[in-house]
Structure 1
Amino acid sequence: MVSSGGWFVRLARVLLGALAIVAVGRQFFVEVGLPGFSPVNFFSYFTILSNIAAGLLLVRLGVAPGLGNRVWLEWLRGGMTVYMATTGIVFALLLDDGDLGLTLPWVNTVMHRVVPVVMFLDWLLVRPRARVGYGRALSWLFVPLAYVTYALVRGAVTGWFPYPFLRPEAVGGIDGVLLHLLFMALGIAAAAVLVAWLGNVRVGERSEERVPV
């Protein structure tokens, strides 16, 4: 285990968090001048939102690791680990067909591979300072649920969906969409339990506080 207050961890968090934010910003400026560009569409991708959030969290933890309520910071840190794992795994299983479209190759690598691995290693190597109850860990599913609800409602209104598995005509109708979402929900729930378990095992009896179930 390594200390969250060590200079190497703090520097790595700041640099890697900044890398995530720079990658999103670079891609934004690639697309912003193109005909038909929609900033709402750009920021409607879970990949974009999760990388921004992960980048900001890493920078925050690197700059001031001991500041704030440690219980809720660890809950947030665990949640971001789950969200970035979702980003990486969904991309690898459903979206990595070799066609990057407008996405720069290095940006794609950072957002779909580097940051998910970084968040997982951060959770695995830097011991959490508080336990996360399994019931509370399942609350991490609220963000993906809210995102999917937004994407489906907006897609039904505008006809634009951020991902093909959310588009009924691309997956055999609404039943295909629901089947994809069911498997994703089960996968995210399993990831949430696993992330909580990995953190709690390492906190052990040394934890002074616990996020309630």
Structure 2
Amino acid sequence: MARLYRAVFACVGWFAVALQYGVTLADNPDSSAGELTLNFFSYFTILSNILVALALTAPVVAPNSRPGRWFAGEGVRAAMAMYIVVVGVVYHFLLAPTWNPQGLALLGNSLLHYVMPAAFVLDWLLFAPKGRLNWGDPAKWLIFPLVYGGWTLIHGALSGWWPYPFVDVGALGLGRVLLNFVGLLVFFLIVGLTVVAIDRTFGRRDRRRVPA
């Protein structure tokens, strides 16, 4: 059941990323494909969805390989659940009111921001081993958002392009953007701690079910 579920949503995830990339190129015919590609892969949404697609794909196609075992690890899957939940929540409350995609853009957007977050969280709830996470784990999971934040500031300073309005240094100033980053990191940490709390609750439940 887990392999079938993951196979289906791995296909959905890769389709969503490919569709959104195609829409990006089609909507900007006068822009450089190289520049568009670099910017496309500078969205946290895209990077997180690629990680989720890999986490769904690797245990299906190569479960005994090193990537397959790594992506199947409970800590890795919990971290990715944290990332993709933040993607969905931040989009819904901060970004969705600011634009109105249509057609294929709407389809890709919905898959990336709603379908895949829900699908991966459900995968984690149903199929990941529980009871093995520690309260300190969410702090380690912040490495990816921290690296992404550093890349965003460097890339934006060099190109003048910013992936999200709340990290636009040109419009908001560096101090405000850094405060926004801190706020997002706190939100990541809250989501991560919630993931650990759910994991430990389910772990205690499962241990009580084990016959003596």
TM-score range, shorter chain: 0.7 to 0.9
Runs of 4+ more than 6 Å apart: none
* Alpha-carbon displacement from aligned partner over 1:97-137 (angstroms, at most 9, x marks no partner): 25245871111111000111112112222241561222123
Counterpart position of 1:182: 182
- Residues paired across the two proteins, number: 199
Q: Percent identity?
A: 33
Letter paired with 1:26: L
1:23 aligns with 2:27: no
Measured after TM superposition, the shift of residue 166 of structure 1 is 0.5
**What root-mean-square deviation, in Å, do the aligned CA atoms of Structure 1 and Structure 2 show?**
2.5
1:121 aligns with 2:119: no
SS in 1 for 2:55: helix
Measured after TM superposition, the shift of residue 49 of structure 1 is 0.8
Q: If the length of structure 1 is used for normalisation, what is the TM-score?
A: 0.83
1:206 and 1:65, CA in 2 relative to 1: closer, same or farther beyond 3 A? farther
In structure 2, list runs of 5 or more residues that go unmatched.
208-212
For residues 141-180 of structure 1, what are the structure 2 equivalents within 5 Å?
Answer: 141-171=142-172, 173-180=173-180
Measured after TM superposition, the shift of residue 41 of structure 1 is 0.6
Contact 1:50 1:84 in 2 (8 A): yes
Contact 1:43 1:49 in 2 (8 A): yes
- Quote the Cα distance in structure 1 between the aligned partners of 2:63 and 2:204: 20
Measured after TM superposition, the shift of residue 205 of structure 1 is 8.6
In structure 1, list runs of 5 or more residues that go unmatched.
1-7, 208-213
Contact 2:7 2:56 in 1 (8 A): yes
* Alpha-carbon displacement from aligned partner over 1:34-89 (angstroms, at most 9, x marks no partner): 22142101111111111111011112234456766579711110011001011101
Contact 2:75 2:133 in 1 (8 A): yes
